[in-house]
């Protein structure tokens, strides 16, 4: 079985689930999942988790992301994007200077409603399930953070609604933030409404789209090859990240050979605690918990994930079996 993270460049039209289904056939293993859903209209970076990589989902889902997207003023839909039912549509005329000012003035923490196409649950049912069944529901409001805005293009027209002003930007956001919500908010601030038309994920910390492969590229590279860890690592490089290297954004501690067995048995030796001493002091000062990767003596296997808490002894989050290299 193959263990790790595979960077996929998802194309428009397919779902994240359809990508996973296709890869189960191509790689010939069932244990495949993903971290961070991309809906059918979206494209770009999808983190696919293989084997024990599925156990790392939480540590990848909680990270910031970056998108490139385009939206149009003067159109409001029930899904906040072009796939939804139009609620209001009007011809608008806006100046580039005004648009730029509103964009730059509405970054940081914002309290915004979650889109109806999201997987956020209300009374045990996902919002998009209410939408599909045409059932009325009020989406919850959530604190979202948007930053590092890069305005790529602003086009203003003065003909009809199809040529209303459009904006193309790149924008970073925190976990649980929705680009659709920000676009809708910008439309409200402009007094015109706005609708998302294109969306591409460029970055999902700690990985970038530059190394990602499309499904077609994966299938072509693995054609008639015997599927194993070595083949995957060689043929899909650099899109495939082996399990030990799957969490490079999380700090690590190297465990001496004589302490490895003890660690796998759920015990943290004195020497490991000593190696974590400086990190523990940082946690005590900041009063914020920290996750640590426990790596083996030659840094080629991830043995466990540990949790450091203020003024408490380190504890285990997860212990991994041997051989996940």
Residue pLDDT, tens place only, 166-187: 999 999 999 989 999 999 999 9
Q: Is residue 190 part of a domain?
A: yes
Find the CATH number of the domain harbouring 235.
3.30.70
Range of the domain at 282: 252-319
Supply the pTM of this predicted model: 0.91
The H-or-E segment that residue 229 falls in is helix 229-235
In tens, the pLDDT along 230-283 reads 889 899 999 999 999 999 999 999 999 889 988 988 889 999 999 999 999 999
Quote the percentage of the chain above a pLDDT of 90: 73
Residue 36's pLDDT is what? 85
225 pLDDT tier (thresholds 50, 70, 90): confident
Average pLDDT over residues 9-17: 92
Q: Do 132 and 31 sit in the same domain of this protein?
A: no
Do 72 and 187 have their domain in common?
yes
What are 68-127's pLDDT values in tens digits? 999 999 999 988 999 988 999 999 989 999 999 999 999 999 999 988 777 677 777 777
What distance in Å separates the CA atoms of residue 8 and residue 273, rounded to the nearest whole number?
38
Tell me which residue has tokens 């599927």. Answer: 227
324 inside domain: no
Q: What per-residue string of b and e applies to 156-191 under the rule 16 or more CB within 10 Å gives b?
A: beeeeeeebbbbbbbbbbeeebbbbbbbbbbbeebe
Show the tokens assigned to 3.
């263990």
Residue appearing with tokens 């989406």: 139
101 part of a folded domain: yes
- Same domain for 136 and 236, yes or no, is no
Q: Catalytic residue, from 39, 162, 259, 278: name it.
A: 39
Whether residue 39 lies in the annotated active site: yes
> What mean pLDDT value characterizes the chain?
91
Residues 70 and 167 in one domain: yes
Percent of the chain with pLDDT over 70: 97
Cα–Cα distance measured from residue 194 to residue 186, given in angstroms and rounded to the nearest whole number:
7
The answer, yes or no, to whether residue 160 has pLDDT greater than 60, is no
Whether the per-residue pLDDT at 305 is higher than 60: the answer is: yes
**pLDDT of res. 161:** 55
Q: Given 245, 274, 301, which residue is the final one in a domain? A: 245
Report the CATH number at residue 128.
Answer: 3.30.2350.10
Query: Domain check: are 171 and 190 in the same one?
Result: yes
Which DSSP symbol is given to 91? -
Judge if 174 and 87 occupy the same domain. yes
Residue 42 lies in a domain: yes
Per-residue pLDDT at 159 exceeds 70: no
Domain count within the chain: 3
Domain boundary among the residues 217, 245, 273 is at 245
Looking at residues 186-199, what average pLDDT do you find? Answer: 96
Same domain flag for 59 and 69: no
Q: Are residues 42 and 69 in the same domain?
A: no
Going by pLDDT thresholds of 50, 70 and 90, the confidence category of residue 200 is very high
Laid out side by side, the sheet with 290-295 consists of 252-254, 290-295, 302-308, 315-319
Same domain membership, residue 259 and residue 237:
no
Read off the pLDDT of each residue in 204-208 and give the average, rounded to a whole number. Answer: 95
Q: Specify whether 258 is located in the same domain as 241.
A: no
pLDDT, greater one: 223 or 288:
288
Q: Is residue 325 part of a domain?
A: no
CB neighbour list of residue 42: distance below 8 Å, 6 or more residues apart: 10, 12, 199, 200, 201
Mean pLDDT of 25-39: 92
The DSSP-derived string for 162-195 is: GGS-EEEEEEEE-TT--HHHHHHHHHHHHTS-EE
| Between 107 and 225, the higher pLDDT residue | 107
Q: What is the pLDDT of residue 228?
A: 81
- Which residue has tokens 């084997």? 51
The pLDDT assigned to 293 comes to 96
């Amino acid at each position: 079985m193959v263990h790790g993270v595979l960077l996929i460049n998802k194309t428009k039209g397919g779902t994240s689930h359809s990508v996973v289904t296709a890869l189960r056939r191509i790689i010939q293993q069932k244990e495949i999942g993903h971290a961070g859903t991309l809906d059918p209209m979206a494209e770009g970076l999808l983190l696919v988790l293989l084997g024990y990589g599925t156990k790392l989902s939480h540590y990848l889902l909680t990270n910031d992301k970056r998108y490139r997207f385009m939206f149009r003023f003067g159109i409001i839909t029930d899904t906040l994007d072009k796939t939804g039912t139009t609620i209001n549509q009007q011809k608008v005329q806006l100046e580039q200077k005004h648009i730029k000012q509103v964009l730059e003035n509405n970054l940081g923490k914002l309290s915004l409603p979650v889109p109806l196409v999201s997987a956020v649950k209300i009374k045990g049912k996902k919002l998009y399930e209410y939408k599909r069944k045409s059932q009325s529901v009020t989406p919850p409001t959530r604190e979202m953070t948007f930053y590092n805005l890069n305005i790529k293009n602003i086009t203003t027209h003065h003909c009809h609604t199809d040529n209303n002003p459009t904006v193309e930007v790149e924008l970073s956001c925190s976990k649980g933030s929705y680009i659709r919500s920000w676009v809708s908010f910008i439309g409200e601030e402009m007094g015109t409404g706005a609708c998302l038309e294109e969306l591409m994920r460029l970055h999902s910390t700690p990985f970038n789209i530059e190394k990602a492969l499309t499904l077609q590229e994966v299938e072509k590279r693995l054609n008639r090859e015997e599927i194993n860890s070595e083949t995957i690592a060689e043929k899909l490089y650099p899109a495939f990240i082996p399990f030990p290297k799957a969490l490079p954004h999380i700090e690590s501690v190297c465990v001496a050979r004589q302490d490895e067995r003890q660690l796998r048995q759920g015990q943290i030796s004195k020497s490991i605690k000593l190696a974590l001493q400086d990190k523990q002091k940082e946690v005590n000062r900041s009063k914020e918990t920290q996750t640590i990767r426990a790596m083996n003596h030659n840094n080629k296997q991830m043995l466990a994930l540990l949790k450091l808490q203020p003024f408490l002894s380190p504890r285990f989050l997860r212990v991994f079996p041997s051989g996940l290299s």
